[in-house]
Structure 1
Amino acid sequence: MEPDAISTLYREYSGYPTPISAFVTANDYMALLNGTSFTLSTEWSQSETVRGARLHYAQQWTLIQNYSKETDIDIQPPSPCSLLHGELLSSYSPSGDLKAVVRETSGQGAGHQFLEVWSSGGLKKLLHLTALDKHGRVYEDAQFGCLAWSACESRVLYVAEGKRSIAESSASASSPSAGEPTAGPSGGPSEKDKSVYWEDWGEGLTSKSVPVLCVADVAKGTVTVLQGVPSHVSPGQGLWAHDGECVFFVGWWHEPFRLGLRFCSNRRSALFCLDLEGNCECLSGDTSSVSSPRLSPDGRYLVYLEGQVFGPHSQCLSLQQYDLETRKISVLVDVVNRPKKDEFAGLYEALPPRCWASDSQRVVFSSARRNWRDLFVVDRTTRRVTRMSDSENFGSWKLLTIQNDLMVVHCSHLNEAPRLVVAFLPSAGGEGEVSWDPLDESCLRGAIVNVLDISPTPQEENPEYSGLDFGALLVTSNHLPSGAKVPLVVFVHGGPHSQFFAEWNVTTAVLVKLGFAVLMGKMVDFLLGSHPHTLVSTDIILFLSLCFVVNYRGSTGFGQDSILSLAGNIGSQDVKDVQRAVLTALADQTAEKLLTLDPDKVVVMGGSHGGFLACHLIGQYPDFYKACAVRNPVINAATLLGTSDIVDWRYSCVGLQYSYDQLPTPEALTTMLQKSPITYAPQIKAPVLLMLGGKDRRVSPHQGLELYRCLKSRGSPVRLLWFAEDGHSLARVDTQADCFLNVVLWFQQHLHLH
């Protein structure tokens, strides 16, 4: 296909919107004689490639519950969508009567931030945060950020960058910490300290250094920066206690220095309680990693996630419960080491902002289970975990909210674009029989999905963690003529401890529509950031279409043993698993034997650790792969050691212990080098396309440059795309479109498909 046709198709499929938040309000009036009315307010994200923008819009539904049959929901037509301009954060008050918005202006006065409070009568309050000058920029990220209303709806809690003088005045020592400047007469850094280095929290959080908790008083129009946060932690994820007299927050240790936080659930942190007088108490243990504190509706229980410090940067987590009356901590959901097939496989992702049932006895959450993201509920009394999702009909599930026991879930499939489904949570004991109602029609594209379970050969077994298998999803078009040979794109994931769910993926959807067969490995934010997307079949078939998704050993959703099995075995176990999946696909074809994958037309693509694996594959199997495209790949773990924001992982991934005072040894550097694809570079024959972000803090772009120079010196075909203003995920809309077009053209060229 011509570049314009490819871009047009990509523009169409990348335009499918994704729901990002939901809020339910129970209306005070009777909707019908036998029903109650609810308003569902949602916010969505949509890529718009013409202007290179990511749009943010709102949409509302009216839902009516039938009293005569609790599970019946009458869904009224939705309101028209309305574009949201400049909103960084938004949050409804508990009653739903008020909405707080943190907005940033553009144009004249660009960069000014405001806190707005809206009611049914229009704008109720406006606080010019920039002019008040109590703090720096408000944090809008998911790691630290929050916008939490007090129960009395008079105050709003949020997190912002602290002013340097504020950060220094809260230090426990009488003098600033080493490396931190002293305040000058004006309250800012003194003249001699203007160039002193200030640490940040790494990739995706480069503007975050010293977070502070802030309270806006809606009635008074004032902002207060809360004092009393321990000087050795950075606060975030704040929420109010039920009585409004104190706040809870997560504090991350930033001493002796900050390590990257994004995608890392293994950072030392604890749960704290801070009253408005500045008295602070640590509620949890201080030797673990905690996140996602959520308060029960009755105000008595806090649940939060807990994991280990260091080791795998993403891991199976436990769900802890803190009883505010007895001050005791108990385990609601423990770490799952080796799940049985089709059973709950553990907790791997953040809890949604609202996850409690109205009875304060049950918690609803989403988590990975093999190749899917499923919906679960745990009973606080029995500790029993029940799955409530319907994977066959709706694909993968992500809970957006549960309020008034109405659950709102984002669903998508490998053959279905994102949509919302709703249901009321049944009474305790009946959670296995939930009646789900979609808010709109599914967008199916005629693909067939087959689930495969793959086991390593005896030679590929991990002796310390034997008996582990991994999963795969084979997706084919239901319009395939028989007899033709199909080229195969092996799509390898990054992470490595994440997962490629059976859900919507734009990159794969367009590749299949273009006619490539795709063998997909688990992926973390490759090409399209970390947004979920999917596959679609084509009506006019160029080279036929197939997709195969592989979650190799080390992926989330298969238990903690699977995650731990990869430590010390990168570059071998994960490479062998991907190659085993490819060989399985080539041997099995489809169940109907309608098509044959062409073993002479196999290419590979991946990003981050996926790029690491892709380069290993073309180096270890030089005659097998005909082309390669990688985004910000790890090429040489030894040279990456001093440039990555997650230096601890550079030790853990090769099986070594890490400590803050760690110094590299010749033995450690040798181990890192031996496990890196750079050692196989002289064997590479496949033409390589490199896509690098100039501002990547996780994997330095000099990693890709190292491979580029190595291949250039040997006369191997290589092309490099440099995106100076992009980071690790290459997440800008125009960058994603540029990358996709170049990948397709690269594969067409070197598979001779013109």
Structure 2
Amino acid sequence: MTTTDNKILTSAIETYRHYAGQPTLSDIESCRQDSNDEILHITPYFSTMDLVKLEDLTYTRSFTYSLKNRQLLFTSNVTPINKNLVRRLASPDGQYLALVTKETKGEQDLYYVQIWHDEHLIFNYEVNDNKISPHGKILPKNDYGSFFEWSPDSRRLIFTAEEKRKPLKSYFTAEKLDDIGEPASIYRENWGEQMELFETSVVCIFDLDIKQVKLIENQPKDLYFGQCTWTTNPDECILVAFRCEPYRLGLIYCENRSTALFKCNWRNNEWIQLTEFDQLCRLFPRHLPKKDNQFVYLQSDVYRAHAQCKRLILFNTETKQEKILIDRID
């Protein structure tokens, strides 16, 4: 290799290292304003590459911004995110932090849930603990197949998890036939396409007032709930449902799949279907602050392009009427 070739190669390597090390915004954990709407607190996630370990890295840092003076007031240090961290979400008031971590012991994955108040761990449990946990493993972040949301008053946490399954026991050691559980060889259909971990979903609530985890009952068994937003009523939320039958297809990036909107009262275990499974795809509902019985969502047509223009729709939960706020332009 000539001296010129060596310089070109060295320059190419340094250029690649420089640009590969540039962080990219991958997610925003929370974005909240103070009571006077003058201070904005943002906690984003960034992704970058470790070219020594040849792996992706994720880190977070917090920013405090003055909306009145348009100045950045505070920037925290970089905090690397542990690979065992499944979920992390601060409450809207900034006082609580919900964490879900995973540990592997032998061939078994153990999931732990922690609720922090400032620097104090006020509640935690193991998902496999049948006395406390009514659900299976908590699903990782996915914009289409899972949610993990604090209520606006920071008193409830709603999330999706797998159904609780009986641990596999031998026929000779089980006291009852019902205790044997399903064999590990039984096939369980998943959603595929980067969602192989997603099979079934149950919707659960953590109530901070009584420090208890509750499975919301009466959930339709033939539906999969993948998106959620709280309403102005602390007992209600709006959810997006996908049909599991006659077969499952990938959900990620497929914004041309028929969906339906539901309203759920978690305290009364009541589910109300707001829309039918028609020729429309309804995604990403967001409730309007200080507006009772109204929320907005994005609407697209079924069976057309995956990435198509969408309509912004205003929905009234009392009258079940939809109003186009911004129409699509083909």
Output one character per residue of 1:197-247: Cα deviation in whole Å (capped at 9) or x when no partner: 321111101121111111122343432222222222111112333222222
Q: Is the contact made by 1:228 and 1:274 (CA closer than 8 Å) also made in structure 2? A: no
SS at match of 2:16: helix
Alignment of 1:495-574 (within 5 A): none
Distance 1:28 1:317 in 2: 33
Alignment of 1:217-236 (within 5 A): 217-236=207-226
Segments of structure 1 that go 5 or more residues without pairing to the other structure are: 30-34, 67-71, 166-183, 338-754
Distance 2:180 2:147 in 1: 27
Structure 1 partner of 2:137 = 137
Length-normalised TM-score, structure 2:
0.81
Q: Is the contact made by 1:22 and 1:43 (CA closer than 8 Å) also made in structure 2? A: yes
**How far apart are 1:51 and its partner, in Å?**
1.3
Q: Is the contact made by 1:125 and 1:218 (CA closer than 8 Å) also made in structure 2? A: no
Q: Which amino acid in the other structure matches residue 80 of structure 1? A: N
**How far apart are 1:258 and its partner, in Å?**
0.5
Distance 1:55 1:110 in 2: 25
Does the alignment pair 1:117 with 2:124?
A: no
Distance 1:110 1:196 in 2: 17
Structure 2 partner of 1:21 = 28
Q: Which amino acid in the other structure matches residue 224 of structure 2? A: S
Structure 1 partner of 2:71 = 74
SS at match of 1:112: strand
Question: Which of 289, 311, 314 in structure 2 is aligned with 1:321?
Answer: 314
Distance 2:61 2:287 in 1: 27
Structure 2 partner of 1:10 = 16
Question: Which of 288, 301, 306 in structure 2 is aligned with 1:296?
Answer: 288
Distance 2:92 2:34 in 1: 13
**How far apart are 1:121 and its partner, in Å?**
3.4
Question: Which of 54, 61, 64 in structure 1 is aligned with 2:63?
Answer: 61
SS at match of 1:243: coil
Distance 1:144 1:45 in 2: 22
**How far apart are 1:320 and its partner, in Å?**
1.6
**How far apart are 1:275 and its partner, in Å?**
1.9
Alignment of 1:620-699 (within 5 A): none
Q: Which amino acid in the other structure matches residue 258 of structure 1? A: R
Change (3 A) 1:79 1:9: same
Change (3 A) 1:78 1:106: farther
Distance 2:43 2:287 in 1: 22
Distance 1:275 1:188 in 2: 32
Output one character per residue of 1:6-26: Cα deviation in whole Å (capped at 9) or x when no partner: 555433312111222153444
Is the radius of gyration larger for structure 1 or structure 2? 1
**How far apart are 1:133 and its partner, in Å?**
4.7
SS at match of 1:137: coil
In percent, how many aligned pairs have the same letter?
24
Length-normalised TM-score, structure 1:
0.38
Output one character per residue of 1:514-565: Cα deviation in whole Å (capped at 9) or x when no partner: xxxxxxxxxxxxxxxxxxxxxxxxxxxxxxxxxxxxxxxxxxxxxxxxxxxx
**How far apart are 1:143 and its partner, in Å?**
1.5
Change (3 A) 1:126 1:16: same
Structure 2 partner of 1:309 = 302
Structure 2 partner of 1:44 = 46
Change (3 A) 1:106 1:164: closer
Distance 2:180 2:302 in 1: 36
SS at match of 1:50: coil
**How far apart are 1:62 and its partner, in Å?**
2.8
Distance 1:82 1:302 in 2: 35
Q: Which amino acid in the other structure matches residue 289 of structure 2? A: P
**How far apart are 1:107 and its partner, in Å?**
7.1
SS at match of 1:163: coil
Q: Is the contact made by 1:204 and 1:262 (CA closer than 8 Å) also made in structure 2? A: yes
**How far apart are 1:122 and its partner, in Å?**
3.5
Output one character per residue of 1:555-600: Cα deviation in whole Å (capped at 9) or x when no partner: xxxxxxxxxxxxxxxxxxxxxxxxxxxxxxxxxxxxxxxxxxxxxx
**How far apart are 1:28 and its partner, in Å?**
6.8
SS at match of 1:214: strand
Alignment of 1:342-357 (within 5 A): none
Output one character per residue of 1:266-308: Cα deviation in whole Å (capped at 9) or x when no partner: 1121111122233222112321222101111114221112222
Larger helix percent: 1
Structure 2 partner of 1:496 = none
Q: Which amino acid in the other structure matches residue 95 of structure 2? A: D
Q: Which amino acid in the other structure matches residue 74 of structure 1? A: Q
Does the alignment pair 1:210 with 2:211?
A: no
Q: Which amino acid in the other structure matches residue 10 of structure 1? A: Y
SS at match of 2:241: strand
Structure 1 partner of 2:159 = 158
**How far apart are 1:322 and its partner, in Å?**
0.9
Structure 1 partner of 2:98 = 100
Larger strand percent: 2
Distance 2:108 2:188 in 1: 25
Does the alignment pair 1:255 with 2:245?
A: yes
Aligned length: 307
Change (3 A) 1:63 1:228: same
Change (3 A) 1:244 1:77: closer
Q: Which amino acid in the other structure matches residue 295 of structure 1? A: H
Output one character per residue of 1:349-405: Cα deviation in whole Å (capped at 9) or x when no partner: xxxxxxxxxxxxxxxxxxxxxxxxxxxxxxxxxxxxxxxxxxxxxxxxxxxxxxxxx
Change (3 A) 1:23 1:195: closer
Question: Which of 258, 270, 283 in structure 2 is aligned with 1:279?
Answer: 270
SS at match of 1:43: strand
Output one character per residue of 1:290-345: Cα deviation in whole Å (capped at 9) or x when no partner: 210111111422111222222323322222211234432111222211xxxxxxxx
Distance 2:216 2:42 in 1: 33
**How far apart are 1:253 and its partner, in Å?**
0.8
Segments of structure 2 that go 5 or more residues without pairing to the other structure are: 167-176
Distance 2:304 2:232 in 1: 36
**How far apart are 1:99 and its partner, in Å?**
2.1
Distance 1:330 1:27 in 2: 31
SS at match of 2:109: coil
**How far apart are 1:92 and its partner, in Å?**
2.5
Change (3 A) 1:107 1:64: farther
Change (3 A) 1:124 1:52: farther
